[in-house]
Every structure is written in C-alpha cells, then in structure tokens.
Structure 1
Amino acid sequence: MPRPTLPSFRRALFVAAPLAVLAGITGGTLALTAGSSDASDVPSRGVPEEKAVKPVRTHGESVLQIMAHPDDDLFFMNPDTSQSIASGRSLTSVYLTAGESDGRNARKQDPKPRADKAAYAEARQNGIRAAYAEMATGNRTSPWDRTSIATAGGGRAELDTLRAKPQISLVWLQLREAGSITGDRPHSLHGLWDGRVERLESQLAAGSPVRDDFSYTRTGTVETITGVLERFRPTFVRLMDPTPGRNDQTGKLADHQDHMYGARFAQAALARYAEKPGRPAFAVQNYLGYPTGGMPHALDPRTTAAKLRTLKTYAWWDHTDYCEDPAGCGDRKVAARPAGHDWAQSIRYARGGSASWVQQGAGAGELYAFSVLDGRLAVWRKAGATAKWTGPILREGAGLDAGVTSVRLPDGRIAVFGTRTELDGEYRREVVTTLQSAPGGEFGAWRSLGSPERDDASSTSDISLPAVLVDRAGPMAVYVRDGAHTLRVSVQHADGGWSPWRPAGGKDLRGDPVAATDAKGRGYVFAATPKTVLAWTGPAGRPVTGPVPTGALSTSADAAARPATGPVPTGLPATTGALSASADGADGVRLWFRKPASGDVRSARFAGTGHASPVLDVPGTVAGHGAVAASDGRLAARGGTGAVSAAGPGGPWVPGRGLFAGAPAAAPTGFATLGLDGRLNWSPWGR
C-alpha cells in the first residue's frame, strides 16, 4: 500500500515577541468535556455521560507525558514522573495503546490463564492508577473519576482524574498495540505510520467508560494527540526516543517499535500544535527506552528502591484483590521482573542533556542562553554583569530537537548547533547550525550540515547531539555519534562550507560526545562506552579533525588540518554516560561525569594526551542524574530531588528548588536552568 500523503506538520515562523505567548502560561484554565464520576471508595468504573470539568493548573507549569504503553513512564521516565507529582503541579500522562499484549495477565511461571485482551488492558490500567495514586497520596486505593471524552480524530478516549489530587490526569487513547517488540505487525502504530494499513483499530479496556469501538487513520491519530495537547496546554512534554537506533549484532530495532513510532506520532502532533496561536510555549524531553539497560546504572540505591516500589504496585506484586475488579489489579507480567532488564535502575535522556547552552558574549559581562521552545531556538541575552536577562526571542526555523550546544569563535561571534527532524515526506534528522552575523549581532538562517546516516531505514536516524571544537583561526569541527555507535566528524572549509561526514573511529559509543579546548588551543573530544570513556586529541591551535582521506581536502584551511590522535583509552572506569567538559588551568581540560549506581559527581583532568589523571571525587553527595555544568571549579547538577544543586570549589552541595529540563549550564558569574514552565532561571554563584 503506498504511503499516504499528509498535510504539512510545520512551517517556518518567526516570532518577534514571544513574551506575550509565555505570559499566557500562568493564565486561566481550559474547560474540557468529560463524563460524570462514580463516588464509591474504590477506583470507579466510569459512566458514559459527559459534563464540563476543568483541569487544575498551578504556578504556570504543566507537564504532559506521551507513552505507547502503560508502564513506559514507570520504567523509563521515573523518577522524573514522581518528582513532578511531588511538586504539586499539573501532570497528565497519555497512553496511546491499550497495552493488551496476548491478553494473559500472568507471570511466565504461572499457569496460563484464558486470553482476554480487554481484561488485561483493564488490569494494566488498574495498575497505573494504583501506582500514580500511591505516588501522589501514599494510598494505592485513592479513588479516580473515570470519564469518556470525544477526540479530535473522531473516536473517544478515557480521561481519569485523581479525586484527591485533581491536577493529576491519565488519558487512555486505547489503540491496538503491536504485540511484538520488533516483529512484522502491520496493524500497529508502525504499520499506520508507514502506510501499510489505512486505519488502526481500538482495543477497549473491560471497564472503560468508552463503550463503542473506533479506528484512526494516520492523520486522525496525529489530530487526536494534537487535540489532547490543546486540552491540557502543556509547558513541558515528555516522550520516548523516536530514533533509538538498531542493535549492532542483530540489526533489529534497539527499542520496542511502539515506543519509537508512538514518539514519532507525538512529534508530528507537537509540530502541528506548535502552529496553534494563544497557547503557552513548551519544551520537549525524550527518554531512552530499552537501550538504557545496557549501560551502567544511573540512579542511586534510594531512588532505585522508590522506583521499584512503584513498579511493584503497578505489577500487583502482593496479588491481593484490593481493587475489587475481576480483571485484576495490575500487570502480573511485570511481577516476574519488576526491574525490567535493568531499566528500573536508570533514567537517561535521548539528547537534550547538553551543559553548554550558556555562552559568554563579546561584551564585558555579556551572556547568551539557548534552548528549544516550540521546536524553535529560544535566545535569551544578558547585556552586562548588572543587566537583567531579556528574551526569549524565538528564532525562525521549526523542527529543532531538544537540546543545543554553543561555542564562541575567536572574533566573539557565537555559533549554535543542534539537530532538526524533517517530518514532511521521508522522516530524517540532520545537524544544523546558526551563526551570529557579528559579535552581539543577530543569528543568521539555519544551515544544514546533513547527516552521517544514509537513510532512516538503516539506523532510524540515530545521531547524537553535536559536540564542537573551534580552531584558533576560526574554522570549526563538529562531531556526532552515529547509528553504528562510532564517531563522525565534519570540518568547516575556509569559505564557510562543510566537509562530508567522515569516520573518526571509536566503537560502542553511547550518548552524546562532548568537547573542550584548553588554554593552548588543544582540542579534546570525549565519548562514553558502557565500560569506559574514549578520547580524541588534537594539536594545540587545531581542532580534532579525524582521519584525513588522501585527496579529500581541497581548501587551504582543510589542507592544514592534521589527523586526530584517537580514539585512545582514557583509563577511566565506567560512567553513567552523561558527560561534560571544560577548560582547566593553563594546559588542560577537565571531564565531569557521574559514578554509576550512586549519581555522585566525579572528574578527571587531561593535559596534552587522552590519558586521564587520577579520578577526583567531588566532596559530598548529590545523588542525581544527568550532565554536570562546570565553570572555574564551580558546579551545578541535578540533585536527588530533581532540583538543581550547586557547589563551589571543594565546597558542599547546596540544594535548590524547582524542577528543570535537561542539564544546567554554567558561566563564570552563575548558572542557569530551564524551568518546566519554559522560563530561564539564573542563579549567581554563592546564592
């Protein structure tokens, strides 16, 4: 069946004054149509009649999570999910499929029950409701109001609201799941996306207030998710990774096909939603799925234990009939392995974890901060040490993925790099950059550097966030991890153009590479593997360019480039994979990382080679996850509560408040975070 032609999901749009849009974050509520509720003390079964209700909105922060299955949030987005619940702010979780599997709610060692997909879908819903109720109230039987709502795609969805905490909502779209991780299943989100089927049917849970079956086209599915976004008006959206890559040995998808294509449907809906006027600005975070189990554990024991408690509640671990539902009170398949395949012990962002999104400008005390809002580059500016931050200005050009990195050129201009997803026509991702016209000037149009990947089918467009080094003469070199888990490099020509992507070596690389330059102009690039960190180094005054094929370079700038030294083993132990690097003294750089199964911050110094000095433990414990921001020995990092913590040189960690997106970024005068309300938060050091 030919792939259907879809309407354009995005268009170029310049927002000259987005502050008015951001101001709308704190205002008002949005009425939505929903059904009446059962007032019993157990989770209600729901009734089909409708009435108007209002979602609770506090402090302008509204988080919406979109998952393919019940439990994707508990395995891959927690503890971020539980921290959002603890914040008291608005949280909505949207489940695209019913998660009906084979309809048998049992562990492998249990006798096989009769297959009943509607009942198993209901049991998984019960498990999610219990898990969220327990996270929010401490009581897994805290009641929910279950209602039926119309969707923009012409079907109906179930909306559940936690009665004790009405800012917490669950939305069940109840589409049919693939029923296989990587197998050929045309009647699935994968098949619908590829146009192998014209419509995907529903699979209703046994106790759902939605009574009548329905089906969606590909366009109807996008419209349905867009309608959910319009109802809840999120300022922050969590998704699974739409480009998880392929297994190096088998060539099969590295993640569940429903995770991948569910995230792609959500991307398409977000692109359409971004064009709607009058809504709050939003940021996006993507989460690694199954592949996170192949990396060292990222969470400390206390956080892991809390995450496992929630998963055991979802899994109906004690097997008592507390929910009084013949379908069952949870997912007994998960009860056999509540940690999954080492998923419960970690959380990882798929891109969006850069700590280099704040950059010094050309003027004294001038700073810039960069993030992605509404799929566009958001730029804030601080004109001097005593000036206030202004912005954001949303730059022209849509489709940016979460996370950007920035560098300062020798003449004072700033360049910003990221990746962009093309949704019109064939799905693809590419590296893009924008450069200031002059120090302190406007940023120019986005320029595409293309992609090291041949096509989406070969590697699912799995490329990392770029890492960038700047030559003292001005040209830049950009590095990405490709879908084969090796490093690729593109070098800037003297005329401003860029070379084709070429191999720079490495094997089994994970996450995003990072780069830094020492005071002598020597460049360093670092990339993590599951067991260690690899390094590439270049001579002083030149970036790391990678191997230079004979006859491949034609311009004078490229002709002067030398082959890189690397990759070389650093001798470092395993890390959690979230890296950052910064200049350190007159002749070196320092790499910052997290200790596995602890979250504590560690560092190592490099001077002249890729070999590390002895690993240094930062005093005190922070027990969080993600990249660490550093400037002149001062540090900012995500702590165990999800809020930022800061430490001076050799000093204790001082906890902050408020949840934020991605990683912090640091400058000599302070550090920044992007709040889940889309606002830039700035803290001078020592406050």
Structure 2
Amino acid sequence: MPRLRLLALPLATALLLGACSNPSDVPSNSAGGSAKGGLSAYMPSNSSSNFEITSLPFVNSLSFAPDLCNDAQDVFFVAHQDDDLLFMNPDIATAVSQNHCVVTVFLTAGDNEYGTQQYGLDYQQYWRNREDGEREAYARMSGVPNTWTQQIYTFAGKAIRTSVLQGNPRVRLMFLRMRESNSSGVSMRALWESSDPTLVAPTMDNSNTFTRQQVLNVLTNVLTVSEAKYVHIQDTAPIVYGTRSEHPDHIAAGRFGEAADKAYTAPHVTVQHRDYNIGVEPYNVTTDQFNTKVGAFKTYANYDPIICPPSGGVGCVAPGESGGFYVEWSWRQYFHVDVTQGGSVARLADGRLAAFVIGDRSSSPLKMVQTTPGGSTWSAWEDLRGNYPAPPTVVNMADGRLAAFERSNSGQVMVKTEVSSGGAWGDWVNLGGVVSSIPVAAQQANGTLVVFVRGNDGQMYIKSQLAPNGGWGGWAGIGGPKFTSSPAVALDRFGRLVLFVRASDGAIYTVSQSAPSGGWGAWQSLGGSFGTDVHPVTGRDQDGRLEVFVRGSDGKLYHRWQTPSGGWGGWSKLGDVQFTGSPVAGSNQDGTIAVSVRSVGGSVQSIKQTGPNGGWGDWSNLGGSFVSLIGAMPDASGRLMTLARGTDNIIYRRGQNDTAWTGLQAP
C-alpha cells in the first residue's frame, strides 16, 4: 500500500532542532532559577537527590518523517510506568518489530509516595528512575542502544517531556507526570472523578498544571499530531474476576483515553486492554512472545525497587515467588470486548446456521451452530482461538467451507478456514496489509473470495483468491476518495460485486465490477450526510437488485435502491424508529427484505417490504432487552433467523413467525 504522508516537519529536522548529546537528563543549575522555555525550576524539599527541571529545548511540532511509520502509528495511553509492559504487550513489541511508529503516554509520574515511604526510598528520585526503566525497556524491544534524545514538545499549550529513541526514532515516550492516587495532593484520578471542572493538578516536577479538560486536550492533540491509526487504552469498566480489585488509576487513565479517543475523529482502531483481571484467564501468548514480554519487564524492574522490595532487582519476577503475578501477567494479553459491536451469522454447507462473536473474556472468536438444519437447538460454543478485540466476518468459500476474517491489533488481515465443512478449523493465516477497518469478504461470480479493507491511508484495497478455495494474490487499490467506514459488499443481479462505503464528506459511495469477476469501474457518490460511526449494510431484492441501508444523523433508518435500469433511487427514510449501531438485513421466506435494528430503548424493531421487490410496511416491535444484534439469515427451512445479545449476555434467537425470543447461552 502507498505510504502515508504525515505532518510537514520531518522528525529528522525536529531532532536537529533540539538534539541533546547526553541521553539522560541534563543537570541544570543547582542554585535554582528558571529553566529555559519558561519552566520553573523545582527542588523537592523532601528529596535527598539533586535533580531539578532540566533545560531542554522546545520544539513546536513533532512529526514523523515521510515513509517512516510503515503506514501505522500506535498510541498507547497508560496510568503508570509498567502498565504498558504488563498489560499492553505483546502488542507494543509487535508494533515496534513491524516498524510502526509507537507513542506511549504516561499520565502519572508513578510516584507512589506512600510506597516509597514504607520502604525508605527517595520519593522524588523513585519516579525518575521508573522513567529511565521504561526507556531501557523500549530500547531493548527495539534492539538498539539505550540512547535517547530528550526534548519538550508543546501539546494543546502544555509543555510535555518527550523522549525519542535515537536508534529507532519511530519510538517515543511522553510523560505528563501527574500524581498517582497512592500519593498526597491532587492526583490524575481525582481530576477524572471530580465534578469541579476548575480543579487543578500540579505535576510532580511543577512544569505544568492540569485541569481535567486540559488533560483531554493534550491527549487528543497527541492523537492528532501523531495521526494515530491504532489507539490503545486501559480497561474503562473492568470486572473483578477472582479476588484482586482493579487499580483506580488504571480505570481513570482508561476513561481519559476513551474521552480523548472519542474527540479524535480521524478513522482509526481503538483497543481496550484488560489489566489485573487477566491473571485468572488461561495463558494466551506464545513462548516467544512471553520471553520478549517478560524480558522487557525485567529490564524495567531493575529500575523499580518496589517490584522486589526492599532491595530491588528482579529475583521475585519468577513463578511461585511473591512477585509471581508479574510472570502470570506476562503469559497473557486480553482485551475489553465491546459487546455492542455484534457478530456474524453464516450457513454451513449442510444448511445449519452458525453464529460468531468474540468471547468477552476469551478475546478469541467463538462459534455456535444449529445442531440440525432448521432446528431449534444450538451447540455449545467452540473456541476458534486467536487474540482479537472484534468479531470476525465469516463467508462461504466455493466448496461450502467457511472462512473467517479478522484484523490483528498490528493492522494485518488474518484468515482462518474450515478444514472440512462443519468440522475442524485450520490455523490463522496472515494475509498482510496495514488496515484500519474490519475486513469484509464476499464470493465473486467465479467462486473466488475477495476481501475488502480500508487502508491506513483512507483508500479501499482488495485481495482475491487466485482460484476457488485456493491461495491469495497481492493487495490492490481500487481508488476513490478518503473513506471512514468499514465497507459493505454484495453481488448484484448481473453477477458483479458492488461495494459501498462512507467517505470523509459524509456521503455513501459505491463502485461495482465492470463485469462478473472482473475489474472495477468508477466510484459514484450516492450522496447523503452520515456520521463518522455509520457503516452501510446491504440487502438484495428478490429480483437481484441491491438496497443499501444506513443510520441517519437523526438515528433513523435510510435506504437507497437500485432501479431496473441500473441507476439508483433517492434516499428515503423508513419510519421514525431511532436506533443505535448498524442495522442487519436478511430475506424472508416470501422473498421480502427484512431489516432489524436495536432501538435506543434496547428492544429489537423490524421492518420489511410489503411484497417482493416492493415498498415497505410499518415497524414491528419484537421486544426484548438487548445490547447488540449478531445478524440475520434464512435457515434450512427458509425462515429468517435473527440473533441478538441480551443485556444478560445470553445470545437469543427469534425465527420468522416466532412470537418470542428463545435464549441459547452466553459466550
């Protein structure tokens, strides 16, 4: 894929503007006074160490040099030094190894005032050492010397201490240095939880003061300047599994990150990483990943004596010892799964339906199938393995076997296929790419699969099987404007694939193959003005004409349809039901399209055509209390089967003409 061009000032220029020959902090005048750039010098009265705010150069803009980032920029927001190494790895190490640009922002200084008092440590020097430990850990993950350029960068009017790894300038660490909650004074947590918008938190080095909004402004500006494509935050709503409660700083940092993420409107992927509660889950990283992860953490731990108090070192970072939970965390990485994102429904070759979701504790795709074609009972969940925060897209190959597609956290497309229809599954295969949308796949007229993604440059890309059920060719771009949504695709009555996607101007665009299994024509705007979180959905009339459905800015359902001549009708609103998420569309036994949505009240509402290829009737309230729709598809009996996830986390089904929902089981 083409490389993404970033901000105008190359990083090489930025480094020259403020190069510092000493990779560690530069001592300032011990007599006090003001540091350069307007920062007030600060000597902690309760510290025996002799450091002050250092005289570092200011650089007004930090940018990546063109082509530096391999089309991928990851930003990690964490509360403390070590949260990233324990809970966001191996994602960080993987991103570094794949030449992503990696920005980690530490919201607190990790000062731990009461902990340092307990062990008789120098309070002020302690958090400085933790920053040094992070720098060496990232240098180790990068495989380069531990030599850093230290500078001050301005984000949203605040001077933020930033370290740039000289041997790999894709890697930078930023330190906001607010107090953690295990300390006196106004902490980062207090800022988030306070109802007083004027509450001010001074930083540990007195270089800044922050209100809650100012923290959000800084974090949002970091995302904007970095042109983040993957945003990683801590768990915003952790569930306590076992006996260990979550650290309140983790939650507050996660919610700060979530708020900044929502304010950042450029297309990107968001991943929430679980923290303490991963310790009760099965191991899910490979031995190589574990060795990288625990090695980076041990490197850091040499700078943090509270890891192995009171003498420090890494002797306790071993199974069965007092600090063995560090090793247990190093064997795991789990995600907070957003259950509102739904799932996928597909049909096996024998006619049985299969539902796919991400397990909210397993972080891996799960599959549940009808026990008999058209039957009322379903199997237990089968774990398809993998480590993903979003559900897969699942389609049939030419021989009827299912293929599941995922996007890894490093932005690559992964595929896993059945070995035999309804039987075992093979391993996940990496199809490459650097993408920022869920992959969507469809079978074209000649039986080969085509997978569609939005690249990190905002363009649409495709990859096709070289033969039915076979291997894959390379990625190819199909042009068009900048896009912001995941794509939707379907075969039209001429046997051509037709693609739909929302562009940055808010309109829905479409492009179709020029012939069955052929090349692609010109993009056409279907108009409209839809929100950034809108993803189009397709339906197919009985005569093969396509319809496209979207949620309007008023939260109501809109559609356009192909005309018999091949053109498109205008946008039309279908009633006044307001809903959240994306609609799901399927075909009834009589050939009519039915569209279901999750209303703002949580019930499922459905609307269908009055006849095949015809107009639309009124909305029907199917009731229930749900968090998301999984999908809808006719089963072997021809009945449209709709599946949804209840607020009790149980998956429910409702077939056409059923009068009630039937609970199956929780994933």
TM-score, normalising length: structure 2:
0.55
**Does structure 1 residue 122 correspond to structure 2 residue 128?**
yes
Q: Report SS of the residue matched to 2:390.
A: coil
CA distance in 2, matches of 1:345, 1:93: 17
3-state secondary structure, aligned to 1:353: coil
Pair 128,119 (structure 1): closer, same or farther in 2 beyond 3 Å: same
Matched, 1:314 2:296: no
The 5-angstrom pairing of residues 360-509 of structure 1 reads: 360-368=490-498, 381-384=511-514, 385-388=517-520, 396-400=529-533, 406-410=537-541, 412-415=545-548, 435-438=559-562, 441=568, 444=571, 471-472=588-589, 473-478=592-597, 489-492=604-607, 502-503=623-624
Amino acid at match of 2:272: Y
What CA deviation, in whole Å up to 9, does each residue of 1:428-476 have, x standing for no partner? xx98765334477489599996579xxxxxxxxxxx8876655453222
Q: Do structure 1's residue 144 and structure 2's residue 129 form an aligned pair?
A: no
Are the equivalent residues in 2 in contact too, given 1:85–1:136 (CA < 8 A)?
Answer: yes
Instruction: Determine if the alignment matches structure 1 residue 49 to structure 2 residue 35.
Output: no
Match of 2:108 in 1: 97
SS in structure 1 at match of 2:119: coil
Cα distance change of structure 1 residues 503 and 188 upon mapping to structure 2, 3 Å threshold = farther
Q: CA deviation at 1:170?
A: 1.5
Distance 1:132 1:444 in 2: 52
- Number of residue pairs matched by the alignment: 466
Contact 1:160 1:169 in 2 (8 A): yes
How big is the shift at 1:161?
Answer: 0.5
CA contact (8 A) 1:37 1:44 kept: no
- Cα deviation 1:520-554 (Å, max 9, x = unaligned): 4345567899xxx9764444xx2xxxxxxxxxxxx
For the structure 1 residues 309 and 49, does the alpha-carbon distance in structure 2 shift closer, same or farther, using more than 3 Å as the test? closer
Gaps of 5+ in 1: 1-18, 106-110, 205-210, 275-281, 421-429, 453-463, 543-559, 570-576, 578-687
With the length of structure 1 as denominator, give the TM-score of the two structures: 0.54
**CA offsets, 1:77-104, max 9 Å, x none?**
4333222211223222223333334453
Q: 1:67 corresponds to which residue? A: 77
Q: Cα distance, 1:65 vs. partner?
A: 1.1
* Alignment of structure 1 residues 555-570 onto 2, 5 Å: 560-567=657-664
CA distance in 2, matches of 1:160, 1:316: 19
Question: Does 2:36 align with 1:25?
Answer: no
Q: How does 1:132-171 map to 2 (within 5 A)?
A: 132-137=138-143, 142-152=146-156, 154-171=157-174
1:239 partner amino acid: H
Map Cα deviations across residues 151-182 of structure 1 (whole Å, 9 max, x no partner).
32x331011100100121122222334459xx
1:112-154: CA deviation from partner (whole Å, max 9, x where unpaired):
31366544432332232222211111x5x521112122232x3
Report the CA distance shift for 1:98/1:41 in structure 2 as closer, same or farther (over 3 A).
closer
1:226 matched to 2:263? The reply is no
Alignment equivalent of 1:173, drawn from 168, 176, 179:
176
1:353 corresponds to: 390
**Aligned twin of 1:592:** none
Question: Secondary structure in 1 aligned to 2:232?
Answer: strand
Deviations 1:47-91 (A, max 9, x none): 423165753342661413141323443344433322221122322
Equivalent in the alignment of 1:590: none
Q: In the TM superposition, what whole-angstrom CA distance separates every residue of 1:642-685 from its partner, at most 9, and x where no partner exists?
A: xxxxxxxxxxxxxxxxxxxxxxxxxxxxxxxxxxxxxxxxxxxx
> Who is 1:581 aligned against?
none
**Distance of aligned partners of 1:565 and 1:399 in 2 relative to their CA distance in 1, 3 Å threshold:** same
CA 1:95–1:408 in 2, change beyond 3 Å: closer, same or farther? farther
Distance 1:516 1:231, change over 3 A: same
Output the CA distance in 1 between the equivalents of 2:324 and 2:301.
9
Structure 2, unpaired ranges of 5+:
28-52, 342-388, 394-439, 441-487, 610-615
- Deviation of residue 296 (structure 1)? 5.0
Deviations 1:404-438 (A, max 9, x none): 58453445435567899xxxxxxxxx987653344
- 1:367-408 Cα distance to aligned partner (Å, 9 max, x none): 45567887978856343432237669797333528xx58453
Conservation of the 8 A alpha-carbon contact between 1:158 and 1:172: yes
Instruction: Choose the corresponding residue for 1:240, options 233, 237, 246.
Output: 233
CA–CA separation in structure 2 for the residues paired with 1:379 and 1:247: 44
Maintained 8 Å contact 2:500/2:511: no
Match of 1:337, SS state, is helix
Match of 2:269 in 1: 284
1:187 to 1:44, Cα distance in 2 relative to 1, 3 A: closer
TM superposition shift of 1:237 = 3.0
1:279 match: none
**CA distance in 2: counterparts of 1:85 and 1:568, whole angstroms:** 39
> Is the Cα–Cα contact under 8 Å of residues 607 and 619 in structure 2 kept in the other structure?
yes
**Contact 1:370/1:380 (CA < 8 Å) preserved in 2?**
yes
C-alpha separation in 1, matches of 2:298 and 2:524: 43
Report Cα offsets for 1:311-366 as digits up to 9, x if no partner.
33333399799xxxx99899999955225668824356545724444421425454
Q: Is contact 2:180–2:188 with CA below 8 Å preserved after alignment?
A: yes
Q: Quick one: structure 1 residues 257 and 534, their matched pair in 2 at CA, closer, same or farther if it must change by over 3 Å?
A: closer
| Distance change >3 Å, CA 54–CA 257, structure 1 → 2 | closer
| CA RMSD of superposed structures (Å) | 5.4
Instruction: Please give the alpha-carbon distance, in whole angstroms, between the structure 1 residues aligned to 2:126 and 2:621.
Output: 51
Partner of 1:591: none
Give the match for residue 589 of structure 1.
Answer: none
Closer, same or farther: CA 221–294 of 1 in aligned 2, 3 Å: same
Q: 1:444 to 1:263 in 2, by over 3 A?
A: farther
Is contact 1:377–1:395 with CA below 8 Å preserved after alignment?
A: yes
Residue 161 of structure 1 contacts residue 169 of structure 1 at CA under 8 Å; is this kept in 2?
yes
Counterpart residue type for residue 286 of structure 1: V
Which residue of structure 2 lines up, in the alignment, with residue 264 of structure 1? 258
Contact 2:537–2:582 at 8 Å: present in 1 too? no
- Alpha-carbon distance in structure 2 between the residues aligned to 1:179 and 1:419: 46
1:99–1:536 CA distance, 2 compared to 1 (3 A): same
Taking the aligned partners of 2:108 and 2:644, their CA distance within structure 1 comes to 36
Secondary structure of 1:238's match? strand
Give the Cα–Cα distance (whole angstroms) in 2 for the partners of residues 379 and 347 of structure 1.
Answer: 33
How far did 1:299 drift? Answer: 3.6
Q: Which residue of 1 aligns with 2:21?
A: 39
Maintained 8 Å contact 2:58/2:151: no
